[in-house]
Amino acid sequence: MDLTVITTYRCNSHCSMCYIWKYPTDPGEEVNAEDLKKLPGGFDNLNITGGEPTLRKDLPDLVETLHPKARILEISSNGLHAERLEPIIKKYPQTKVRFSLEGFDDTNNRIRGEQDGFKKKVAGMMRLKELGGQDLGFGAVIQDDNITEVVDLYKFAQEKDVEFATSTLHNAFQFHKNDNVMYDRMKVAREVEKLITEMLKTNKVKNWFRAYLNLGLIENILGHDRLIPCTAGKDFAFIDPWCDVYACNVRPDLLLGNLRRQSWDEIMNSPKSREIRDKVKACKQNCWMVTTARTAMRNPVVPQLPKAKPFWWVVVNKARATLGMPIPFQKYVDYGVVVKDDDVPKREHFLDNKQVKRRKQTAEETHYSFVGEYFNR
Ligand code: SF4
């Protein structure tokens, strides 16, 4: 099972597609090492994220607690304070680190509301590499504003000898917004094809399966059904800063329990959890987030291996790429069916964010003030 721990909703980026930064948590209320000690061992990918996890002064303690419980311990960061990860990488060089990077220079800064973000992240990443980091990389959220740079960004990561992961726009209670919709679905989807082709040309197995993940992104972008059904709540869970455990970070009604008040066993084996897993099976949201897409792709018996569907897709299309043949996207994706959106309003950007009001969220109050239909289609 994979687990994501949202260590804080404080964030020093100001993204246009995620408003976590407008709703910071109180550091005194945030999930701590004592809470996390209650987790069992044996997680597959255990992701420490936020908000921005490097804003946690006790991040090294959280890592100490979680490291023995995971096959892969991941830290997802904006990379603006890479120096805070240096002691962690020195001690645990195999820690997976991903920095969010939405494009080169101005593109990244505009989407993420960051000053000089691109340069800081790249310099920080190279420093972690010098220190011996073994699983470092960038992650980009594919959207209209960066789609023309995505292939070059991928090549840039390759030149720097680091990984490159992609996701795309989603609406979720965690993000406090539901206007994350493409302006031009077809254009973005066609550009993702180029990235897939590049990934299949490499000799890295990870990239070949990322190519399949990106095929899922095309389906998602066009508004089609998921490539593989979601298994959230069984193969994936999400802990928020108040220790509430959810099946996923999109639907706030999929609340499984609370790690401060209950044991992990109670949470995962309660009648409520069984009910929620049934809701997941019937879920109509059309998500393809890396968390629940990656887990859905895994073989249920040997999680290090893929299910048959992605496996054979990769075998066939890697062979095509090797022989210089085009990937027959039309065979996999029905481009004749594209969800039509009414005029999608342009997302706001926050490079100059000083006037933007923040509203602290507390455990006592309703945490997720944005009431809306978190719809992904
Ligand atoms: S498909 Fe449904 S249950 Fe699965 S991640 Fe999306 S919203 Fe959550």
Amino acid at 122: V
How high is the pLDDT of residue 132? 98
Percent of the chain at pLDDT exceeding 90: 81
Sequence-ordered list of residues with C-beta below 8 angstroms from that of 161, at least 6 positions apart, any chain: 129
Q: Which of 175, 226, 230 to mutate to test the pocket of ligand 1 (most atoms within 8 A of CB)?
A: 230
Sequence-ordered list of residues with C-beta below 8 angstroms from that of 158, at least 6 positions apart, any chain: 164, 202
Give the pocket of ligand 1 (CB within 6 Å).
Answer: 230, 232, 247-248, 250-251, 280, 283, 285, 287, 292
User: How do residues 39-60 score in pLDDT, each as one tens digit?
Assistant: 999 999 999 999 999 999 999 9
Least confident window among 96-105, 134-143, 178-187, 356-365: 356-365
**Residue nearest atom 5 of ligand 1, based on CA coordinates:** 248
Percent of the chain at pLDDT exceeding 70: 98
Look at the chain and count its residues: 377
How high is the pLDDT of residue 372? 60
User: How do residues 237-263 score in pLDDT, each as one tens digit?
Assistant: 999 999 999 999 899 889 999 999 999
Residue that has been written with the tokens 């995962």 in this structure: 268
Q: Are 368 and 176 in contact (CB under 8 A)?
A: yes
What average pLDDT does the structure give for the chain?
94
Ligand 1 centre from 273 Cα, in Å? Answer: 15
Q: Is the pLDDT of residue 29 over 90?
A: yes
For the segment 273-288, the average pLDDT, to the nearest whole number, is: 93
Q: pLDDT-derived band of residue 371, with 50, 70 and 90 as boundaries?
A: low
Q: Is the pLDDT of residue 364 over 90?
A: no
Ligand 1 centre from 280 Cα, in Å? Answer: 6
Q: For residue 123, what are its two tokens? A: 């310099």
User: How do residues 209-222 score in pLDDT, each as one tens digit?
Assistant: 999 999 999 999 99
